[in-house]
Structure 1
Amino acid sequence: MSEETVKPDEVIDARGLYCPGPLMELIRVISVKPVGTVLKVLSSDEGSAKDIPAWISKVGQQYIGTEKSDGYWELLVKKVK
């Protein structure tokens, strides 16, 4: 599954929040979503590009990928359990 073929079910706009804000927003949202939900996190905090994939791996969800846009990162995550 590549980023180009995955369409997010929901976008979490955490731009302007500082660490650990974007990760906390992802945790809040993913906890109430059904398995199979794809989330896109938008973050202007550079640490999110490392923190979010590390957390996803730790908790056993699926990290799809990260792209850098104009001053922010777009991270795709799929809830698998």
Structure 2
Amino acid sequence: MAENLENINPDIVHDATGTYCPIPITELAKVVKQAKTGQIIELQADDEGAIQDVPAWCETTGNEYLGYIDEDGLLRFFVRKTQE
């Protein structure tokens, strides 16, 4: 799965590193709200809690969770906006 994620060119990249729950999710919500349907958002975070929080948020909101890549502690989450 990670191999495919490395080939994704996100439409929006948002850096939430240095923040902790719930900030990465509130930041993601703001960015997704501004994105257009179908756009892919990359959320960068270093809070390991986001590994559970991002997919749970996507399930709750109906947006598509594509997965994440861990690059030595930098977590890169990929979400496709599917809901207006």
Q: Which residue of 2 aligns with 1:36?
A: 38
What is the aligned residue count?
81
Question: SS state of the match for residue 34, structure 2?
Answer: coil
| TM-score, reference length from structure 2 | 0.89
Unaligned runs of 5+ in 2: none
1:4, CA displacement in angstroms? Answer: 3.6
1:6, CA displacement in angstroms? Answer: 2.2
Structure 1 residue aligned with 2:77, among 60, 70, 75?
A: 75
* Mapping of residues 2-81 of structure 1, within 5 Å: 2-81=4-83
| TM-score, reference length from structure 1 | 0.92
Give the % identical residues: 36
Unaligned runs of 5+ in 1: none
Runs of 4+ in 1 over 3 A off after TM superposition: none
1:62, CA displacement in angstroms? Answer: 0.4
